[in-house]
Amino acid sequence: MIKANYPVTKFEAIRTPFYYYDLEVLRRTLQEINHLTETDPFEVHYALKANVNPEVLKTIRDAGLGADCVSGGEVKAALDAGIPASKIVFAGVGKADWEIKLGLENDIFCFNVESIPELEVINELAIGQGKTAQVALRINPNVSANTHHYITTGLNENKFGINLSELDKVTAIVKQLSNIRLIGIHFHIGSQITDLAPFQDLCVKVNEIQEHFEANGIVLENVNVGGGLGINYEHPNHFPIPEFEAYFKIFREHLTLRPGQKLHFELGRAIVAQCGSLISRVLYVKEGTSKKFAILDAGFTELIRPALYQAYHRIENLSSELPEEEYDVVGPICESSDVFAKAYQMNGTHRGDLIALRSAGAYGEIMASQYNLRALPVAYTSDQLL
């Protein structure tokens, strides 16, 4: 079995479980993004909700990316990491007053607005601060992303965004709000999208919507197509960097930008997933009646994606080169859903072996909980373990 090139002897001395971030993989990913977008009017914002580890954030800031935030806490984390307010966009269906105020106080670039009542509240709070809020309308394009139903967001039945049928009404209201400036339109169709066709569908929809706005005398400065580019969870060693080239090409070729218009992206998973692993130790190998269980010291409290979305993470035994055998790889939490993988082929496994759950850099550490009164996981970077 091919495995990650990790400093296993260093790992031996560290208490498990912990997250490990390979910053070289992250830097190469960021270089690739910057290289592929440098000649286009493209601006990439990192979706902080995927991972806010301070070292990871610093590396992303150093590469010059903007930030996509979905809470006041994330706006604060982006500012604290030194990402300029002029590169921060703020989305979310339920922004609280304090979160909107925080964005206004710091003059963030744009609020991605999801409803009429939200527009009215932002206007009121902006009047209170004597400011003008820049907003983009988050439009629900009714594009199917062919991904897990918990992570598709762009269909009419989802709670997100403004439906196309309501667009004219919303635009008319925006015109009447004194302290709102409409600077763009925003979309986000889902997550872990590996078949790129839905992005092409999105481009077609964006073109139609742009023509509709123009016909009504409205030219917008910004189009934001959100995030959602998927990664290869099966083969992180062969495909550490997602298909950015094909992804950006779709937008370059199929989305018609107007002169001076900027195209914004909000990528989370595609930027950070492959640089991270959850490192755990085998506590026990237990023989069941018909199967073997490898019981780890990490569970869904550290990495909830398998329990929450039946997500697949590649599992590598970093300590063993023994012939492969089949295991149910499980955690120690008192819930039957605390399973990382069933009937999984892994090198012969014993108590004390180090296990890497790969591609865990996105929606891993940030979703950790203290259930069963467990400690939140710590994290190390490749720079720290050099």
Ligand X SMILES: *Cc1c(COP(=O)(O)O)cnc(C)c1O
Based on CB atoms, which residue is closest to ligand X, 50 or 139? 50
Q: Which of 17, 161, 242, 268 binds ligand X (CB under 6 A)?
A: 268
Q: How far is the CB of 220 from ligand X (least distance, A)?
A: 18
Q: How far is the CB of 16 from ligand X (least distance, A)?
A: 27
Q: How far is the CB of 55 from ligand X (least distance, A)?
A: 19
Q: How far is the CB of 190 from ligand X (least distance, A)?
A: 7
In whole angstroms, give the CA distance from residue 106 to residue 134: 12
70 binds ligand X (CB under 6 A): yes
Q: Which of 228, 276, 361, 364 binds ligand X (CB under 6 A)?
A: 228
Q: Which of 48, 52, 60, 68 binds ligand X (CB under 6 A)?
A: 68
269 binds ligand X (CB under 6 A): yes
Give yes or no for a contact between 181 and 110, defined as CB atoms under 8 angstroms apart: no
DSSP state of 158: S
In whole angstroms, what separates CA 94 from the centre of its chain? 18
Pair of tokens at residue 261: 């218009």
Binding mask 296-315 for ligand X (x = CB under 6 A): --------------------
Q: Which of 103, 141, 161, 226 binds ligand X (CB under 6 A)?
A: 226
91 binds ligand X (CB under 6 A): yes
188 binds ligand X (CB under 6 A): yes
Q: In the range 134-173, which residues lie near ligand X by CB under 6 A? A: none
Q: Candidates 1-9, 202-210, 223-231, 332-340 — which segment interacts with ligand X by CB under 6 A?
A: 223-231
Taking each helix axis from N to C end, the angle separating 197-215 and 167-176, rounded to the nearest 10 degrees, works out to 50
Nearest CA among 199, 187, 188 for reference residue 246: 199
Q: Which residue has the tokens 């055998």?
A: 325
Q: Please, what sign has the CA dihedral across residues 115, 121, 124, 125? A: negative
In whole angstroms, what separates CA 198 from the centre of its chain? 18
In whole angstroms, give the CA distance from residue 286 to residue 305: 24
Pair of tokens at residue 153: 């967001």
Q: How far is the CB of 149 from ligand X (least distance, A)?
A: 15
49 binds ligand X (CB under 6 A): yes
Q: How far is the CB of 74 from ligand X (least distance, A)?
A: 11
227 binds ligand X (CB under 6 A): yes
Beta-bridge partner residues of 324 = 347
81 binds ligand X (CB under 6 A): no
Q: Which of 118, 266, 302, 316 binds ligand X (CB under 6 A)?
A: 266
Pair of tokens at residue 212: 């509709």
- Would residue 144 be called left, alpha or beta, if left means φ above 0 and alpha means ψ between -120 and 50 degrees? beta
- Would residue 157 be called left, alpha or beta, if left means φ above 0 and alpha means ψ between -120 and 50 degrees? alpha
Q: How far is the CB of 68 from ligand X (least distance, A)?
A: 5
Q: How far is the CB of 230 from ligand X (least distance, A)?
A: 8
Coil, strand, or helix at residue 61? helix
Q: How far is the CB of 135 from ligand X (least distance, A)?
A: 14
Based on CB atoms, which residue is closest to ligand X, 333 or 362? 362
378 phi and psi, to 5 degrees? -95, 170
244 phi and psi, to 5 degrees? -65, -35
Q: Which of 50, 88, 122, 298 binds ligand X (CB under 6 A)?
A: 50
Rg (alpha carbons) of the chain, rounded to whole number: 22
Q: Which of 56, 65, 209, 267 binds ligand X (CB under 6 A)?
A: 267
In whole angstroms, give the CA distance from residue 58 to residue 350: 38
Query: Which residues bind to ligand X, rule: CB under 6 A?
Result: 47, 49-50, 68, 70, 91, 188, 191, 226-229, 266-270, 362
